[in-house]
Amino acid sequence: MSSKSENFFDSKVLGHPSGLFVLFFTEMWERFSFYGMRVLLIQFLTAAVIGLNPGWDWSIEKATALYGTYAMLLYITPIFGGIIADKYIGYRWAVVVGAIIMTFGHAFMAFDTPFFLYLGLACLVIGTGFFKPNMTSILSEMYKDFPEKKDGAYTIFYMGVNAGAFFGMMLCGFLAEKVGWHWGFGLAGIFMLLGTLQFWLAKPLFGTVGEIPSKTGNQITADDDTPKYEPGEKPNPFTLLDQVLIVIMTLLGLGYAFNDPLNAIGGINLFNFEIGGLSGQNIVILIALFLFLFVVIRRLANYTKIVRDRMIAVIIFAFFVIFFWMSFEQGATSLVIFARDNTERNLVGGAALAFNVFNTLLTVVPLLFISYVLFLLAKQTIKKAFWSNITLAVTFLGIWAAAIWMLNFNWSSHSYDVSYDAIQTEKLDDTGKPVLNEEGKPTFITTPVTASYVAKPTDKIITETINIASQNTLAKGEQINIHQEGDKFLMVDNTDLAKLDEEYKKQNIPSEIVPAKIAEIKDSQVEITVSWFSTLNSFFIIALASLVSRVWDSKYNPSASVKYGLGLIIMAIGFGFLAFGSYGVAEGVRVSIIWLVLAYLFHTLGELCLSPVGLSYVSKLVPARMIAFMFGMWYLAIAIGNKLAAILGGQIEVITKEYSLSTFFLIFTIVPIVAGLIVIALNPLMKKLMHGVK
Q: What is the per-residue DSSP string for 438-481?
A: TTS-B-EEEEE--TT----TT--EEEEEEEEEESS---TT-EEE
| pLDDT for position 127 | 93
* Rg of the chain on CA atoms, in Å: 27
Q: How far apart are the C-alpha atoms of 679 and 686, rounded to whole Å?
A: 9
- Sign of the four-CA dihedral 569, 61, 340, 177: positive
| Residue 671 CB-density burial (10 A; 0-12 exposed, 13-18 middle, 19+ buried) | middle
Buried b / exposed e over 215-241, threshold 16 CB at 10 Å, is eeebebeeeeeeeeeeeebeebeeeee
| pLDDT for position 537 | 94
Residues of the chain with pLDDT under 50: 1-6, 215-226
| pLDDT for position 422 | 93
Percent of the chain with pLDDT over 90: 48
Q: Is 150 left (phi over 0), alpha (psi -120 to 50) or beta?
A: alpha
Q: How far apart are the C-alpha atoms of 665 and 318, rounded to whole Å?
A: 24
Q: How far apart are the C-alpha atoms of 335 and 578, rounded to whole Å?
A: 10
488-539 pLDDT tens trace: 888 998 888 988 988 899 888 889 999 999 999 987 789 999 999 999 999 9
- Quick count: other Cβ atoms within 10 Å of Cβ 283? 17
Residue 150 backbone phi and psi in degrees, to 5: -65, -40
Q: How far apart are the C-alpha atoms of 527 and 114, rounded to whole Å?
A: 30
Helix residue spans in 650-690 (DSSP H)? 652-658, 661-681, 683-690
Q: How far apart are the C-alpha atoms of 658 and 224, rounded to whole Å?
A: 62
| pLDDT for position 236 | 67
| Residue 172 CB-density burial (10 A; 0-12 exposed, 13-18 middle, 19+ buried) | buried
CB 599, CB 672: distance < 8 Å: no
Strand 414-426 and strand 278-279: the pairing is unpaired
The amino acid at residue 210 is G
Bridge partners of 229? none
| pLDDT for position 232 | 56
CB 646, CB 325: distance < 8 Å: no
Which residue from 177, 164, 172 is spatially nearest to 538, judged by alpha carbons?
Answer: 164
DSSP for residue 587: T
CB 165, CB 36: distance < 8 Å: no
Q: How far apart are the C-alpha atoms of 25 and 32, rounded to whole Å?
A: 10
420-461 pLDDT tens trace: 999 999 888 778 788 887 777 888 888 899 988 888 888 899
